[in-house]
A and B are shown apart, each in its own frame.
Chain A
Amino acid sequence: MVNIYQIFIQNITAFLEATVITLKLTSISLLLAMFIGLVIAFFKISKNRILYSIAQLYITVIRGTPLIVQLMFLYFGIIKIVVLPAFWAGTLALAIHAGAYIAEIFRGAIQSINPGQMEAARSLGMSRSLAMKRIIMPQAFKRAVPSLGNQFIIGLKDSSLVAYLGVPEIYGTALYEQASNFMPFETYMVAGMYYLVLVIIFTYLVSKLELKLDVEDGGRVS
């Protein structure tokens, strides 16, 4: 216990700086992933065979290969063609990876909305895209929130793999410190605690959001 406390205090600056990097990696990549996910979800429910096939291929390849392979590929694999800064290679790989999962979350949420909603909107003279924007997506988004929250937690922890590109985020910092202090047990314990605290804070925020969305339509899910 004493040792853990000691390691915590000794490395507090390094880990706090690392936390900032982890949060940057996570937030930028998940923002991008939401955008990718939304576009791919629309492709997948599109009647256009080409768009559908692009979405299907994307989801199959990205879900079918490990994140670490995607990370290494984007940084070292294409180094002869383009050299991305490690941070951005990591952010991009995380975004592309989470995007595939988020696409499926959005697709499921959109398709779970009763077709009667679209019919009612169309019967009022709304175009398909207007009905999507005003009627379907607000409901679908609400339904997606719990799964999105889950995916964001996974994204936060997945960001630790970017350490292997040499980015000094939380896990990267732990890797580096334990190599010089020879106290891997304590150092990894401290790193784990940082992740745990971040996840707990984030989970709390998502539950707040769910509660708020619930109140907004009379407290019940249709």
Chain B
Amino acid sequence: MIKIRNLNKHFGALHVLKDIDLDVKNREVVVIIGASGSGKSTLLRCINFLEMMDDGGKINVMGKNINPKLDDLNLVRQNVGMVFQHFNLFPHKTVLENVIEAPLYVKKMNHQEARKVGLEILDKVGMLCKADCYPLQLSGGQQQRVAIARALAMNPTIMLFDEPTSALDPELVNEVLQVMKELAREGMTMVVVTHEMGFAKEVADRVIYIDEGRIVEEGKPEQVFECPSQQRTESFLAKVI
């Protein structure tokens, strides 16, 4: 699904990502962990070309090498859903309008059909009853579930989650994780940046630990969490668990 080779990223003089190689297989759930500033969010944003990698790197999405300067990124992004830490819902649109905006104006779906799809997806994330509310009338957890629905409405093949529960009050984290677990069960290909180690243990097929822009360790969750091979992984885990 995703093949990354030799990905480097600089912000000015700061070398944020260093020679990243990463493969994500179809239906695989990959969880990326690491301290803040380690580059894990930047990596995720590079996959969706919200950040541009340095020259020389290669990102292959669904079997196609993407050249951000030549290829139509809008087409690539239609297959890759993204969920943000701060939800980024459109505040001037209702919940349903948020969800059907891209199907209507990007996929040019007719209104009736889009509405049907939108309501179905809202039902799936348990937000059907709030379809006509505005985002700011919802709790953070509800907003994030709508944001997931908005991304799903484009029927993406891959879903990227950038710290989806980091901005939530602790009691709201679970409702969002539940939706994500359901998605994983259905076989969605997912890349998740998170600090929720419980979620990583339970849902991830593979856990990747990033430190200072490098992939330090990767493996099955039990392996990474129970017997990490690297000292750095061990000390990071000791701090967060």
A117 touching B136 in the complex, CB below 8 Å, given contacts A125-B78, A125-B106:
no
How many contacts between A and B, using CB within 8 angstroms? 74
Which of B86-94, B115-123, B169-177, B218-226 contacts the other chain?
B86-94
| Residues of A in contact, count (CB < 8 Å) | 23
Question: Does A125 contact B154, Cβ atoms closer than 8 Å?
Answer: yes
Q: Which of B50, B91, B137 lies in contact with A122, CB distance below 8 A?
A: B50
| In the bound complex, CA of A111 to CA of B82 (Å) | 23
CB distance from B70 to the nearest CB of A (A): 16
| Chief secondary structure at chain A's binding surface | helix
Question: Does B84 contact A216, Cβ atoms closer than 8 Å?
Answer: no
Query: Nearest chain-B residue to A216 (Cβ)?
Result: B92
A120 touching B90 in the complex, CB below 8 Å, given contacts A125-B102, A130-B106, A218-B136:
yes
CB distance from A145 to the nearest CB of B (A): 13
Q: 1/0 per residue A110-128: CB within 8 Å of B?
A: 0000101101111111110
Question: Does A134 contact B105, Cβ atoms closer than 8 Å?
Answer: yes
Residues in B whose Cβ lies below 8 Å from that of A126: 74, 102, 105-106
Residues in B whose Cβ lies below 8 Å from that of A222: 91, 136
Q: Which of A120, A125, A134, A217 lies in contact with B88, CB distance below 8 A?
A: A120
Residues in A whose Cβ lies below 8 Å from that of B74: 122, 125-127
Question: Does B151 contact A124, Cβ atoms closer than 8 Å?
Answer: yes
What residues make up the interface of A, taking CB atoms closer than 8 Å to B? 114, 116-117, 119-127, 130, 134-135, 138-139, 142, 216-218, 220, 222
| In the bound complex, CA of A3 to CA of B241 (Å) | 86
Q: 10 shortest A-B CB distances, which residue pairs?
A: A218-B134, A125-B78, A120-B88, A124-B102, A123-B82, A116-B88, A222-B91, A125-B77, A125-B106, A217-B92
CB distance from B91 to the nearest CB of A (A): 4
| In the bound complex, CA of A45 to CA of B80 (Å) | 28
Question: Does A119 contact B90, Cβ atoms closer than 8 Å?
Answer: no
Question: Does B134 contact A217, Cβ atoms closer than 8 Å?
Answer: yes
Question: Does A220 contact B136, Cβ atoms closer than 8 Å?
Answer: yes
* Residue among A119, A123, A127, A135 with max Cβ neighbours from chain B (10 Å): A123
Q: 1/0 per residue B71-104: CB within 8 Å of A?
A: 0011101101110101011111100000001100
Query: Nearest chain-A residue to B90 (Cβ)?
Result: A135
CB distance from B96 to the nearest CB of A (A): 14
Question: Does B77 contact A122, Cβ atoms closer than 8 Å?
Answer: yes
Query: Nearest chain-B residue to A128 (Cβ)?
Result: B74
Q: 1/0 per residue B128-162: CB within 8 Å of A?
A: 00000111110000000001001100100000000
| In the bound complex, CA of A120 to CA of B135 (Å) | 14
Residues in B whose Cβ lies below 8 Å from that of A121: 90
Given contact pairs A116-B84, A121-B90, a sample of 15 additional A-B residue pairs in the complex whose CB atoms are under 8 Å apart: A116-B88, A117-B88, A117-B90, A120-B88, A120-B89, A123-B82, A123-B151, A125-B74, A125-B106, A130-B106, A134-B105, A139-B92, A218-B134, A218-B137, A222-B136
